[in-house]
Amino acid sequence: MRRRTFTALLVGLAAVAALAGPRETRPPMAATPHIYTAKFDTTHSFDVRHYRLALRPAMTSDSLHGRQTIAAVSRTAGLDTVMLHCVRLAVDSVKLDGTAAGYRRPTDSLLVGMGGLASGQPFTLDIFYRAGNFSANGSYSRGYYWYPKGGQTLRTVGYTCSAPQDARKWMPCLDEPWDKADSGCVFEITAPDSFVTAANGVLSDTVRDGDLLTWRWEEASSIATYLMAFHVSRYSFWTDTARTSTGDTVPLLYFVWPQDSAQSCEAFANVPAMMECYTSRFGRYPFGKYAMAAVYPFVFGGMENQDMTTIIRNWIGTSDQYGIAHELSHMWFGDMVTCGTWADIWLNEGFASYCEAVYDEQATGRLPGAYMGQNFSAALSGNALIYPIYDPPMSLIYDFSMEYAKGAWVLHMLRWVMGEAAFWPMMRAYADSFAYGTAVTSDLQRIAEQHHGQGLDWFFDQWLRRPGHPRYTTVIYHRTAPDSNACRFTVKHWPSSGELYSMPVNMACSSAAGRKDTVVWLEAALSGPFHLETASPIIWARFDPDNWVLKSHNDSIPRMRAAVPGPCQISLVWNSFTADPAPPHGYIAYRGLAAGGPFARINGGIVPDTSYLDTGLVPGVRYYYTVAAVSGQDTCFQTRSSSSMSAIPTGVAGGPEEAAGPRVLWLSPTGANPSREAVRLEYHLPSAGRTRLAIYNLSGQLVRTVVDGFRTAGPQAAVWNGRDGAGRKAASGGYLAVLEWGGQRRTVRVNRVF
Ligand SMILES: [Zn+2]
């Protein structure tokens, strides 16, 4: 299933490097027993083998009546009663093996008396029932939907949509994902002959009776009730064929309204390529055909009914390739391998969502991390911050942030942790092992551990059993001197859930000699510094550059603004950059004449403050600036530069800019700095107002207030006499001058030397 508001973008980013970096063996951790409960209710009293539905949708209203024939086997000695799910259906009669049977109707179920069948004894139930007035159940939970022609509903349409527990609203059944009907199902749908029907399986027969036509659709593969579906409308249909590299020929059937026919050819053109993509990764397409039927309105974007996907009509107009790919991939994950319980829904939706990235990778050639970052950042917010994705509240099993976005990330990270060589065979083994059956999370973990050769409790526990994600703040310095080929990473880790994560993360640097990847295990609150060396000068250094780990990440760089405080001047102000654990030694400012550089350094010594005044500039020319922080240990170690900011200096005093006054609050770096005597501080106010200028020591304690009162707009100056509030000489060393005006604050560093 896929939500409908999604719009995918194809962005042609070039792939930057090899797929996965080098890998380390994870250091041993204390073993924790894993927590997933075993399979499911293996003690159920009967097992459904087959459903046969003879249905007559009225098509002039939402009334529906029919007969459900259930072939099943007793799994208990003396089976007395069979319980079926049956919600708001009028049951007229029930037969057991062709003979009228007694039954009761407790709320939302149907209990049929069985008379004590032996274990292993097969039986058949025929249930004659009527349904209708579905819209009284609310728009999101009807099971069967019928709409007359009008608006975007181009033809009268009736269809079912059953995930997760709505099949029981249009047919009596054992509506649990763990009891798939092993031998499949049959639909015999009788409608006026102007209608076309579509359902699971392949069309085996049509039978005419006057103006009525009965369509017989046979699904041979095992099927879960939530994946059973039929559609009735005045469709035109067209076909195509997918020929896969495994030698299979898969018929493709498309049911669309006649007006959409031409456009649907374009929108569905890539289905054979998508099928080949998934076949090459996961094995043969599992069913006898693949179909899509377009409907409107629809509460979802798409629903992966077995070999018979329902899509909202809008996907044809928007050509939603990733929605189409998502639903197709469900045929492997969801339909062939069905989640055993709704607690394991991420095995359906996380997998199908990740398959969007798998298709993107093949179709565009870019790395899957590009698609993950663009489309699944929702994993960092919403309910994914509140609930683990394993065993979500029933109301949230289709929550996008949890089961789709974070579910996809979990699979992406499993690929990263296992590596390409183990991950893809694991996926194929998982598909093979549970084909046409069900799987739960512990099944996936077991298969993954077999292929990985190591326990993965640590991985499954932290990503599936906890809400949230790790947050990393990095400080990355690399050397800028021409003969210096090193970089240094420091990582602060503060997870959103409070518990630290353990993950391998790639730290990469690029030089003329190529890219060098270094994978490190991060599991502490503070890691590093990690020193990396290359053979030639480093061009860039990045943390997880290919986006393999779900995280929020802040790479510490200064953030800068540029302003014009006076003629031929541009002032630069940036935030104080809090490097962890050691503060930076200072900053280096760069100037250029284009946004993309080149930039040349403009300050002589290191700028210790968070501002810089560039003077002697040519009026009318646009200048661009960036600033980088400098490590305290070695001044040629610099951070990545800030984003470039630009400004155009004005002409001589009296020009329009000067007459209007400076537009920003600005505190000048001190001219004679460090100062042996008094320190002169110049500042500009955008308009008149209460102003405070005070000196603090580096511990943040007030030393002396220099200005505290009303000041007029424009340039101002004040002098700190180097003494504290009591008149004592302040100690030698660094101080901070802080200007406050109009709720804003500017800080410069002042060095007092005796
Ligand atoms: Zn889905």
Write out pLDDT tens, residues 140-167: 678 999 999 999 999 999 999 999 999 9
Calculate how far, in angstroms, residue 350's C-alpha sits from the geometric centre of ligand 1. 8
Measure 45 CA to ligand 1 centroid, in angstroms. Answer: 31
Gap from CA of 751 to ligand 1 centroid (Å) = 62
CA of 113 to the centre of ligand 1 (A): 38
Q: What is the mean pLDDT of residues 39-51?
A: 81
Q: Residue 352 C-alpha to ligand 1 middle, in angstroms?
A: 6
Is residue 10 over pLDDT 70? no
Q: What separation in Å is there between the alpha carbon of 160 and the centre of ligand 1?
A: 16
Q: What is the 3 CA–ligand 1 centroid distance (Å)? A: 8
Name the more confident of 294 and 732. 294
Measured in angstroms, how far is the CA atom of residue 2 from the centroid of ligand 1? 5
Interval 686-701 mean pLDDT = 86
Ligand 1 centroid distance, CA of 353 (Å): 7
For residue 38, the CA-to-ligand 1 centroid distance in Å is 25
Find the 149 Cα to ligand 1 centroid distance in Å.
28
Q: How far is the CA of 619 from the centre of ligand 1 (A)?
A: 59
C-alpha of residue 183 to centroid of ligand 1, in Å: 24
- Closest by CA position to 356, among listed 323, 332, 383, 319: 323
Rounded CA separation 256/265 (Å): 10
Q: How far is the CA of 189 from the centre of ligand 1 (A)?
A: 27
Distance in Å, CA 242 to ligand 1 centroid: 22
How remote is the CA of residue 326 from the centroid of ligand 1, in Å? Answer: 6
CA 70 to chain centroid, in Å, comes to 40
State in Å: Cα 385 to ligand 1 middle.
21
User: Which residues touch 711 (CB under 8 Å, ≥6 apart)?
Assistant: 685, 688, 689, 690, 691, 741
Reported CATH class of domain 666-752: mainly beta
pLDDT digits (tens, 9 = 90+) for 53-68: 999 999 999 999 999 9
Do domains 46-330 and 666-752 share one topology? The answer is: yes
Which residues lie closer than 8 Å to 316 by C-beta, 6 or more apart? 256, 260, 263, 264, 267, 294
User: Contact at 8 Å (CB) between 439 and 425?
Assistant: no
Average pLDDT along the chain: 88
Q: In this predicted structure, what is the pLDDT of residue 23?
A: 40
Distance 358 CA to ligand 1 centre (A): 15
Residue 137 pLDDT level (bands cut at 50, 70, 90): low
For residue 168, how far is its CA from the centre of ligand 1 (angstroms)? Answer: 20
Cα of 264 vs centre of ligand 1, distance in Å, is 21
Q: Residue 306 Cα, ligand 1 centroid: separation in angstroms?
A: 12
- Ligand 1 centroid distance, CA of 364 (Å): 22
The pair of structure tokens assigned to 141 is: 């939970």
Question: How many angstroms is it from 6 CA to the middle of ligand 1?
Answer: 12
497: confidence class by pLDDT, cuts 50, 70, 90: confident
What's the 662 CA to ligand 1 centre distance in angstroms? 56
> 101 C-alpha to center of ligand 1: Å?
39
Q: Which two tokens stand for residue 45?
A: 């009293």
Q: Average of pLDDT values for 304-308? A: 98
Q: What separation in Å is there between the alpha carbon of 582 and the centre of ligand 1?
A: 47
Please state which of the ranges 208-212, 248-252, 338-342, 707-711 shows the lowest mean pLDDT. Answer: 707-711
Confidence (pLDDT) at 38: 42
Over residues 405-414, mean pLDDT:
98
CA 273 / ligand 1 centre spacing (Å): 19
Q: Where are the domains of the chain?
A: 46-330, 471-555, 560-660, 666-752
Residue 24 in this model has a pLDDT that exceeds 80: no
Q: Which residues contact 22 (CB under 8 A, 6 or more apart)?
A: 517, 518, 519
253 Cα–ligand 1 center, Å: 20
Give the rounded percent of residues in the chain with a pLDDT score beyond 70: 90
Residue 444: both structure tokens together:
């996936």
Handedness of CA 333, 161, 250, 49 (dihedral sign): positive
Higher pLDDT, 257 or 22: 257
CA of 349 to the centre of ligand 1 (A): 5
Average pLDDT over residues 516-526: 94
Written out in words, the top-level CATH class of the domain with range 471-555 is mainly beta
Range 235-256 average pLDDT = 96
242's CB contacts (< 8 A; 6+ apart) are: 248, 249, 250, 252, 271, 272, 275, 276, 285, 290
**pLDDT tops 80 at residue 351:** yes
Dist. CA 197–CA 158, nearest whole Å:
9
What span, in angstroms and rounded, lies between the C-alpha atoms of 719 and 216?
94
330 Cα: distance to centroid of ligand 1 (angstroms): 7
- Percent of residues, the chain, with pLDDT higher than 90: 66
Ligand 1 centroid to residue 327 C-alpha, Å: 6
User: Mean pLDDT highest for which of 327-331, 662-666, 745-749?
Assistant: 327-331
Q: Which CATH architecture has domain 560-660?
A: Sandwich (2.60)
Considering 72-76, 573-577, 591-595, 633-637, the range whose residues carry the highest mean pLDDT is 72-76
Q: What is the pLDDT of residues 285-298, one digit of tens each?
A: 999 999 999 999 99
pLDDT at 181 over 80: yes
pLDDT digits (tens, 9 = 90+) for 434-479: 999 999 999 999 999 999 999 999 999 999 999 999 999 999 988 7
Residue 22 reports pLDDT greater than 50: no
Tell how far the Cα of 187 is from the centroid of ligand 1, in angstroms: 24
Mean pLDDT for the stretch of residues 269-279: 98
Just give the CATH number of 46-330.
Answer: 2.60.40.1730
pLDDT of residue 20: 35
